[in-house]
Amino acid sequence: MGIGSFISNSRRILKLATKPSRKELWMSAKISVLAMFLVGLLSFGIQYLMTVITHQW
């Protein structure tokens, strides 16, 4: 794969790409915030559990 074919493929992809609608953007933002919240909650739970377990040592 040479530089020419890479540029040609990149142009083709950029022509097909469209700007997301406001609804799609809002849905992506909500999913991202929910995922960050769940990961944070999971890590807090693991940290709390490990603190309780190792506190007795």
Asked, for residue 3, whether it belongs to a domain, the answer is: no
Asked, for residue 11, whether it belongs to a domain, the answer is: no
pLDDT digits (tens, 9 = 90+) for 5-25: 999 999 999 999 989 999 999
SS3 content of the chain, % helix, strand, coil (to 5): 85, 0, 15
pTM of the model: 0.65
Q: How many helices (H) and strands (E) does the chain have?
A: 2, 0
Asked, for residue 9, whether it belongs to a domain, the answer is: no
Asked, for residue 53, whether it belongs to a domain, the answer is: yes
In the chain, the number of structural domains is 1
Asked, for residue 4, whether it belongs to a domain, the answer is: no
The pLDDT of residue 47 is 97
Full residue range of the structural domain in which residue 53 is found: 20-57
Asked, for residue 29, whether it belongs to a domain, the answer is: yes
